[in-house]
Chain A
Amino acid sequence: MTTAQYLEMWRSAGVIKDDQCAALLALARKDRFSVHLELNALLYAGVLAFAGGLGWTVREHFASLGDAVIAIALFAIVAGSLSYCFRRAAPFSTAQAPAPSFAFDYVLLLGCLAFAVALWYVEFRFQLLRERWDMYLLASAGLYVALAYRFDNRFVLSLGLSTLAGWFGVRFSPEGFFTGTMREVALGYGAMVAAAGVWMHRLGIKPHFLETYFHVAANAMLFALASGVFGGDSPQLWLVGLLVAAAAAIERGIRLRRFAFVVYGVVYAYVGVSREVIRHVRADTLWLAYFVVSGAAVVVGLFVVSRRVGRAE
């Protein structure tokens, strides 16, 4: 049976009404076809490309363009974007608020990205803060998060959290994590992000942002703990920490049916445990056998979880 035949059958049986059937048939037969997602994707890609080109042009051509032209252009984009957002936005609401126009979220994102380029340029040319340049990151992270809350914009919230990570010194590069002290910083960053998310959620301010905070915090902390197992001074301690954090992620993920956190917990914990096992097992056959047995155990565990709480049928 085709989709249209199913719908006709349900209409005849009285399960759905005539108007519902007509609306659903229009979708099934593509008489009504939404390109909402495609247009959003184009707009987002356009903003990223524009901001990337802006930064590149400023870096490469500041000498020929001159400070005045660059400063005016950058601050015109920032001011124009923010002015548009403040003029068009509805009054602040602590609940989830729809964007007042199609391009609204992306105009704000463009303004924030242009602001980042402007700050970089100011420091590059005038060297106001020099060794304290990271204060720009802290200030801009604060601004982005404030704007994200004001205008209910998850893209800008993500920009704010990643800028805050920059201020903390967290770079998601393997070198930083496996050779330096980055993992302690990442742990602090993750804990702070999670705490901030919970706090805002408890205050009832944009509670739908909580999941974004948790995704960022979980990855930062679990990655940091797993890297400690690889390169830390006392890998066993890092492993214990990793297992505790992973267990918490899995437990919360199962309880709240947020399976991404279950996957984070399982994958990071498996990587950490496997590293410790391989460290102590020399024979090839033994560690291969370990992967067979442990992999099977994980598959069985995930299968049980999926049957109990993760069914899709």
Chain B
Amino acid sequence: MRRYTAEEEQRVRMQAHVGDWTRAGLLAPEQGAALEAELRTDLKRTNDLLRAALALFTTVIVAASVLLVFVSFDIRDHLANAVTLAVAAAACIGFVEYLVGTLRLYRYGVEEALAVASILLVAASAAEIVRPLASAPVDRWWMAWLATASAAGFAVYRRYGLVYALVGATLAAALIPVQFSLSNAVERLLAAAIFGAAFAAARLACLRHGDDYPGDDYATLQAAAVAGAYFTLNVHIADAIPWLGIGAPSVPGWFYWSSYAATWLIPAAGLMLAIREKDRSLLTVGIALALCTLVTNKPYLGWRRDTWDPMILGALLAGGAVALRRWLASGPDGQRGGFTAARILARDRDILSALATASVAWHGRGHEPPPHDAPPSDFAGGRSGGAGGGAGY
């Protein structure tokens, strides 16, 4: 069923480990070269940035090709739509099979974009089939789309090992209850239950496989499921992104306060698990969710936000990070319980450098001129109107 064998997948991961260890000085360059040669497969891979660009342009080709067929043949009928979309999906999968089977591409961008396109297209095809059968077309269209996308995403993961297809499949499955026109609370509960089921399944698989392939894929799904359940249950999550302008939905009191408890319990449980098992994906998600809980706590309690809230949060984060670092560093051999604050891999430094360079984008905000209608200053001797005459101190 799988296009890449477990041995190939594990070798690819080992190559990444060897590269990291060599750059960190844990292996001599000649040792690294020898081990990488030993681990070599016939799979063709590329740099992550080129991979992203290849995925982008492949998406452009697929979108334009499908639209071109629709426009050229003036396809409007739902059945013709469905057939065209299904043929396009089949063509995409055909290309993926060729690229993976014959050219042996692995995470090259092109075959990934085609595989994802096939999921979207086959889901749209299924949705077009059910469109005339439904009394409420929009809901049914989306329901069919989500159900098919979920199944197709899972199939793509099984075939090509694209872990984000698995995460997408889970997300699509969790969104299906939202189409049932139930009460907001019930929809959220059903969606959270689906994420919970995905978490349980991923957790069992993680425990069975450990950290090596495919355990790392299931660890990613596990972390994504925790995040999905959290975002589904937190009714004030939109308040964390004020520019969206989305208010909290109307939900019954029992659900509101249960979800409030969940916003504390989920990150806490996630962090506990992550720390116990040293699971990096879950740790990252747990930290992010804990931050979301701090940000949405006041809206949940109906308290007014104060301008100094970010300062308190910032002091908490920075102070906590410094204290934790000191505590870890003061342990025997600079570590406690196996955790260390020291950098081991060069990759961490590269990520921080990239973050620092990218910070130009958000540091650039706030260069607006100050308004020139400020009230008189305490220091200005009661001047007003901005002329400044008579001011002195």
Contacts and interface: CB of A to CB of B under 8 A. Distances in A.
Interface of A: 1-3, 6, 10, 15-16, 20, 23-24, 27-28, 30-57, 59-63, 66-68, 102-103, 106, 116, 120-121, 123-127, 130, 133-134, 137, 154-155, 157-159, 161-163, 165-166, 171-172, 211-212, 215-216, 259-260, 262-263, 266-267, 270, 284-285, 288-289, 291-292, 295-296, 298-299, 302-303, 305-307, 310-313
What DSSP secondary structure best describes chain A's contact surface? helix
Contact of A39 (B61, B71, B313, B321): B321
B378 A42 contact: no
B56 interface: yes
A163 B367 contact: yes
Contacts of B283: 35, 38
Contact of B307 (A56, A102, A158, A161): A56
A263 B363 contact: no
Contact of B378 (A67, A162, A260): A67
B185 to A, nearest CB: 32
A263 B47 CA distance: 11
B110 A299 contact: yes
Interface in B43-70: 43-50, 52-54, 56-58, 60-61, 63-65, 67-68
Nearest to B367: A166
Given A46-B321, A49-B313, A35 B340 contact: yes
A52 B361 CA distance: 15
B53 A46 contact: no
Contact of B310 (A38, A52, A62, A263): A52
B317 interface: yes
A162 B360 contact: yes
The 3 closest A-B pairs by CB, nearest first: A50-B314, A166-B367, A53-B310
Nearest to B328: A35
Nearest to A121: B370
Contacts, number: 290
Interface stretch (B14-22, B129-137, B152-160, B230-238): B14-22
B46 A49 contact: no
A57 B308 contact: yes
B363 A57 contact: no
B304 interface: no
A127 B68 contact: no
Nearest to B42: A313
B315 interface: yes
B13 to A, nearest CB: 8
Contacts of A215: 357, 360
B343 A34 contact: yes
Contact of B371 (A20, A124, A154, A295): A124
A312 B201 CA distance: 33
A190 to B, nearest CB: 12
A23 B21 CA distance: 10
A2 B345 CA distance: 20
Nearest to B287: A38
Interface string B279-303: 0000110010001000000000000
Given A38-B283, A305-B50, A51 B314 contact: yes
A285 B71 CA distance: 7
B360 A312 contact: no
Nearest to A266: B53
Contacts of A292: 61, 64-65, 68
Contact of A124 (B57, B325, B370): B370
A171 B61 contact: no
Given A2-B210, A35-B340, A295 B64 contact: yes
B352 interface: yes
B311 A53 contact: yes
Nearest to B210: A2
B26 interface: yes
Contacts of A267: 53, 56
Given A39-B341, A291-B64, A262 B314 contact: no
B356 interface: yes
A70 to B, nearest CB: 10
Given A32-B340, A158-B363, A127 B49 contact: no
A162 B41 CA distance: 44
A16 B38 CA distance: 13
A23 B24 CA distance: 12
24 contacts: A15-B31, A33-B278, A35-B339, A35-B340, A36-B343, A38-B287, A39-B324, A48-B314, A48-B362, A53-B309, A53-B313, A102-B325, A124-B371, A125-B374, A161-B360, A216-B360, A295-B61, A299-B54, A299-B61, A302-B50, A307-B44, A310-B46, A311-B47, A313-B44
Nearest to B58: A299
A212 B357 contact: yes
A24 B345 CA distance: 12
Contacts of B311: 49-50, 53-54, 57
A46 B314 contact: yes
Interface in B247-293: 278, 283-284, 287, 291
